[in-house]
Amino acid sequence: MNNRVLVLNQDYRPLMVCSVQRAFVMVYLNKSELVRPANGYKLRTVTTSYAMPSVIRLHRYVNAPYKGVTLTRQNVFKRDNFECQYCGTKRDLTLDHVTPSSRGGVHAWVNLVTACKKCNAKKGDFTPEEAAMPLRHKPFKPTYSLFLRDTHSHNEWDEFLATG
């Protein structure tokens, strides 16, 4: 069962994720509307049964500042699906600078990738081309919508996160 609910702004853009309890209260108090129920799950009282929310939309527009994704070790791992971008393993992960720091490589989204310790040591102070170790995916700065997803499957969220 999914205990998280995607909250959309009035214009259907992803705003945040909240608990099922908080989402239900917002719907019940008419501050939001149920857009997508959680597949077949119900919230029950003694006399009534309600559809469990998976996606809700606020009735009033909330002017939220742009939410960027903070550059952290865990966020780079998450962007790269917790796999080495050279060999694909999910063990002994660390960060690697595509262009090494010693050669002017910056600490930025487009220059950091997830690498296992073995590949990181093998690559050493070279670029992937020089080390003959091609990257599986080119590094990029992720969007906020990408980070609203988590490891669980949220099929009800897909259409809203694709546009965020």
**pLDDT grade, residue 149 (50/70/90)?**
low
Same domain for 126 and 85, yes or no, is yes
Half-sphere exposure of 84 (CA within 13 A, CB side): 20
Helices (H), 30-139: 73-79, 117-123
Task: Give the Å distances, CA to CA, from 124 to 82, 97, 98, 132, 164.
Answer: 21, 10, 10, 12, 37
Same domain for 126 and 155, yes or no, is no
Task: Specify the 3-state DSSP secondary structure of 155.
Answer: coil
**pTM (global) more than 0.85:** no
Same domain for 138 and 101, yes or no, is yes
Q: What's the pLDDT tens digit per position in 46-103?
A: 999 999 999 999 999 999 877 778 899 999 999 999 999 999 999 999 999 999 999 9
Please give the tally of structural domains in the chain: 2
Task: Give the Å distances, CA to CA, from 20 to 11, 30, 32, 152.
Answer: 21, 15, 13, 15
Residue 119 has pLDDT above 80, yes or no: yes
Q: Which domain holds residue 109?
A: 70-142
Same domain for 78 and 118, yes or no, is yes
Same domain for 101 and 136, yes or no, is yes
Same domain for 112 and 138, yes or no, is yes
The mean per-residue pLDDT over the stretch 119-133 comes to 96
pLDDT of residue 151: 42
Neighbours of 70 (CB within 10 A): 8
pLDDT of residue 163: 53
Same domain for 20 and 50, yes or no, is yes
The token pair that represents 59 in the structure block: 């009735």
Same domain for 95 and 136, yes or no, is yes
Same domain for 112 and 156, yes or no, is no
